[in-house]
Chains A and B, each alone.
Chain A
Amino acid sequence: MEDKLIIGGQEITSRLFLGTGKFSPNRLIKEAVRSSGVQVVTVALRRVDLEYEEENIASFVPKDCILMPNTSGARNAGEAVRIARLARAAGLGHWVKIEVVTDNRYLLPDNFETIKATEILSAEGFVVLPYMSPDLIVAKKLLEAGAAAVMPLGAPIGSNRGFKTRELVRILIDEIPLPIIVDAGIGRPSEAAEAMEAGAAAVLVNTAIATAGDPVAMARAFGLAVEAGRAAYISGFGATQVYASASSPLTGFLSD
C-alpha cells in the first residue's frame, strides 16, 4: 500500500519537519537534515541586527529542502500576511507556516487571527500551514479558508512536554480531511512516535533536536521514531481490548 504525504500538490519524502532555531553552531542544521532525512525545514524572518554580524540561515539548509518561512513575530493576521509576502518576494517559495502569537507567557497561537491570515494567503496562492491550538471548529474553518495542512500544538512551544493535546488532536485527525502535523512541544522521539501512531501526518520538531547533547544524532533518532510510528499506524493495531462474554449475554436470545 502506498503511503504518501502530499502537501500543496507536492509529495513530501519525510514526515519529520525540522525547525532551525537554537542550533549552535548553525552548521549542525545541515548535518541534522542529512542524518534524519528531513525535507521540510522552517526558518523565520527577522530584522537584521545592525550591531553584530550574523549568518545567513538559508546557507545552512541543503538546496533540496523545502524552506518554509514561519510568520513568528506576527501579532495579527496583517503582520503574518506581510511576512509571508516578503518571504515569497525574497525567493523563498510559496510555502508558509502561519504563526500568530500574542500571548507572551505561554506562546499560544491566536486561532482567530490565524484563520484570517490563512484565508488571505491561500487566496494568493500560498501553500499555507497554520499553527494552531487544537480545536475542531477552528480546524474546520482553516480547511474552508484553504489551509494545505493543519498544525496543532502538542504542548506549548519549546516546552518539551510531549504530546499533551492527544485527545483533541485525535479529533482533528478523525474529522479533518487534511494532513494533521503536530507542531511544538514534542520533547522525545517516543512522543513523536506516539503522535504518529495516533495518525498524525507528520511532526515538526525544533527545540528537542537543536538543544540535545548531540543534535545530529537526536535528529536521526526523531527521524526513525517518526517512521516507526507511521508504519505502526498504517499497519493497524491489533485488538487490545477484548470484550469478554458477559455473564448475562445481550444477544443470547438470537438462537438460530
Chain B
Amino acid sequence: MSFYIERKNYEKFDFYNFFERVDDADIERVIAKDRLSELDYLTLLSPRAEGYLEAMAQKSLLLTIRHFGRVILLYTPLYLANYCVNHCVYCGFQVRNRLSRKKLSVDEVEAEAKIIAATGLKHILILTGESRKKSPVSYIKECIEVLKRYFTSISIEIYPLEEYEYAALISAGVDGLTIYQEVYNEEVYADLHPAGPKRNYRFRLEAPERACRAGIRTVNVGALLGLHDWRSEAFFTGLHANYLQNLFPEVDVSVSPPRIRPQLGGYRPDIEVSDKNLVQYMLAFRLFMPRGGITVSTRERAELRDHLVKLGATKMSAGSSTAVGGRSNGGATGQFEISDGRSVAEMAAMLYSMGYQPVYKDWQ
C-alpha cells in the first residue's frame, strides 16, 4: 500500500468537468453532512463554493472548537543549514542561487536554542536543505541531542529519509515530520525539479508513510500553493492526509497550506492564490477532516493570520527566521521572506485578545 498507488484513482480525473457540474444544492448538502467523502471535499473546493464561505466558516469554527478547543499551538522554525543540491526552481536555497552557505555548529545550535527557549516555546521545527554530505543524518542527530535539552517536541523538515533513518531520529528524540510534496501533479513536479535527488517524486511522496511506520507521532503534509492549480493540489493534499490518518490512526496528521513567497532567485508563480482561495482551502479541509491539524506559517501577513485563528488553524509559527543562525546573527539570507514578524509574546497577546489560549507544549 502506498499513497503513490492510491492517488492514481484520480490520475485521469476531469476536475474542470466536475467543477462545472457542481450546483448550489450539492454544496448545501455537503455542508450539512457529518462525514464528507473525497468528492464532497472536492465539491467544497469548487469555484462555486466560494459563495458559501461564510456557512463553511461557521461550521468550521464549531468543528475546530469541538475537537481542539480555543487553542493555537505555537512553534518556531530553526534553520540548521542551507546547503542544498536540489534545483527546485521556486526556492531561495536551490543549488544555483549564490548565497553564503552555512551550517550551524553544535554550539551555534545551542545558542539559537537558548534564545528560542527564552520565549517560552517548547515545540521546534528544524530545517535543512538537501545535502546528505553537508547535513547528514548523523549531524541532525547531534543537533537533536542538544535541542532536546531545551524543547519537549522536535519536528524535522529535511530531505526525505529511509524508514530506518526516521527510526534513528525518532529514538534520538524527534516526534514530528513536516514534508511538503510541493506539487502533487507528477508532470509539473518533474518540470519544477529538473535535477537533484528531489526529482524522485515517489520517494518524497512516501516519506510520511515511512516515518509513520517508524513510529513518528505527528506528520504534516502540504502542497506549495502557486506552483500548480491550487484546487486540485488542495484536493490531493487532503487525500494524502486522509490516507495517512486511515492507515495510521494513532498519528496526528496535519496539513499546511503554504503560499509561495518572494525569495532569492526571483521566481514568480504563474498561479495567483488569493486570500479567499486560501480560506476556502482551509475551510474545505476542516469540514473534510474535522480532527486534522492545519498549520499556518509566517508566510502569511499578521492581519490575515489573525483572521485564520477562527478559520480552522490549529498551529502557527511565531518569532520566525528563515535564515541559518538568523536569531543570534542577523543579516543572513532567508529561504523566503516572512510576512508576520511578530514575536512569540506578541502572538500570544493577539491570541488572548481573541479569547484563545496559546499552547507552547502540546503533550509530553
- Touch between chains A and B, by CB atoms below 8 Å: yes
**A residues at B contact (CB < 8 Å):** 170, 174-175, 236-246, 249-254, 256
Q: Is the CB of B61 within 8 A of A250?
A: yes
Q: Is the CB of B32 within 8 A of A245?
A: no
Q: Which residues of chain A are near B53, meaning CB under 8 Å?
A: 251, 254
The chain B residue with its CB closest to the CB of A175 is B246
The chain A residue with its CB closest to the CB of B57 is A250
Check B229 for interface membership: any CB of A closer than 8 A. no
Check B219 for interface membership: any CB of A closer than 8 A. no
Work out how many contacts link A and B, with CB atoms closer than 8 A: 48
Q: Is the CB of A243 within 8 A of B276?
A: no
**Number of B interface residues, CB 8 Å?**
21
Question: In the complex, what distance in Å separates the CA atom of A237 from the CA atom of B31?
Answer: 11
Q: Is the CB of A243 within 8 A of B31?
A: yes
- Contact partner, A251, options B29, B31, B57, B246, Cβ 8 Å: B57
Check B23 for interface membership: any CB of A closer than 8 A. no
A174-B35, A254-B53 as given contacts; A243 in contact with B29, CB under 8 Å: no
Q: Is the CB of A250 within 8 A of B58?
A: yes
Q: How many Å from the CB of A172 to the closest CB on chain B?
A: 12
Interface residues of B in 24-42 (CB under 8 A from A): 25, 28-29, 31-32, 34-35
Can you list 20 A-B contacts (CB < 8 A)? A237-B29, A239-B28, A239-B29, A240-B32, A242-B55, A243-B54, A243-B59, A244-B58, A245-B54, A246-B54, A249-B57, A250-B54, A250-B61, A250-B307, A250-B310, A251-B53, A251-B54, A251-B311, A253-B307, A254-B276
Q: Is the CB of B29 within 8 A of A238?
A: yes
Q: Is the CB of A249 within 8 A of B32?
A: no
- Contact partner, B58, options A236, A238, A239, A243, Cβ 8 Å: A243
The chain B residue with its CB closest to the CB of A249 is B54
A250-B311, A254-B276, A254-B279 as given contacts; A239 in contact with B57, CB under 8 Å: no
Instruction: Give 10 A-B pairs besides A243-B58, A251-B279 with Cβ atoms closer than 8 angstroms.
Output: A237-B32, A238-B28, A238-B29, A239-B32, A243-B59, A245-B54, A250-B311, A253-B307, A254-B276, A256-B276
Q: How many Å from the CB of A167 to the closest CB on chain B?
A: 10
A250-B58, A254-B53 as given contacts; A239 in contact with B310, CB under 8 Å: no
Question: In the complex, what distance in Å separates the CA atom of A6 from the CA atom of B227?
Answer: 43
Check B275 for interface membership: any CB of A closer than 8 A. yes
The chain B residue with its CB closest to the CB of A137 is B249
**B residues at A contact (CB < 8 Å):** 25, 28-29, 31-32, 34-35, 53-55, 57-59, 61, 246, 275-276, 279, 307, 310-311
Q: Could you tell me the dominant secondary structure of chain A's interface residues?
A: loop
Question: In the complex, what distance in Å separates the CA atom of A11 from the CA atom of B276?
Answer: 47
Q: Is the CB of B58 within 8 A of A246?
A: yes
Q: Which residues of chain B are near A242, meaning CB under 8 Å?
A: 55
Q: Is the CB of B57 within 8 A of A241?
A: no
Q: Which residues of chain A are near B28, meaning CB under 8 Å?
A: 238-239
Q: Which residues of chain A are near B276, meaning CB under 8 Å?
A: 254, 256
Question: In the complex, what distance in Å separates the CA atom of A207 from the CA atom of B68?
Answer: 44
Q: How many Å from the CB of B292 to the closest CB on chain A?
A: 15
Q: Which residues of chain A are near B279, meaning CB under 8 Å?
A: 251, 254
Q: Which residues of chain B are near A254, meaning CB under 8 Å?
A: 53, 275-276, 279
Q: Which residues of chain B are near A240, meaning CB under 8 Å?
A: 32
The chain A residue with its CB closest to the CB of B278 is A254
Q: Which residues of chain B are near A253, meaning CB under 8 Å?
A: 307
Question: In the complex, what distance in Å separates the CA atom of A169 from the CA atom of B96?
Answer: 56
Question: In the complex, what distance in Å separates the CA atom of A241 from the CA atom of B58?
Answer: 12
- Contact partner, A236, options B29, B35, B54, Cβ 8 Å: B29
Question: In the complex, what distance in Å separates the CA atom of A245 from the CA atom of B58?
Answer: 8
Q: Which residues of chain B are near A239, meaning CB under 8 Å?
A: 28-29, 31-32
- Closest CB pairs A-B (n = 4): A250-B57, A239-B32, A243-B58, A239-B28
Q: How many Å from the CB of A43 to the closest CB on chain B?
A: 36
The chain B residue with its CB closest to the CB of A254 is B276
Q: How many Å from the CB of B211 to the closest CB on chain A?
A: 22
Q: How many Å from the CB of B81 to the closest CB on chain A?
A: 38
Q: Which residues of chain A are near B246, meaning CB under 8 Å?
A: 175
Q: Which residues of chain B are near A170, meaning CB under 8 Å?
A: 34-35
The chain A residue with its CB closest to the CB of B30 is A239
Q: How many Å from the CB of B340 to the closest CB on chain A?
A: 16
The chain A residue with its CB closest to the CB of B307 is A253
The chain B residue with its CB closest to the CB of A199 is B35
Q: Is the CB of B55 within 8 A of A243?
A: yes
Q: How many Å from the CB of B311 to the closest CB on chain A?
A: 6
Q: Which residues of chain A are near B34, meaning CB under 8 Å?
A: 170
Q: Which residues of chain B are near A236, meaning CB under 8 Å?
A: 29
Q: Which residues of chain B are near A237, meaning CB under 8 Å?
A: 29, 32
Q: How many Å from the CB of A87 to the closest CB on chain B?
A: 35
The chain A residue with its CB closest to the CB of B27 is A239
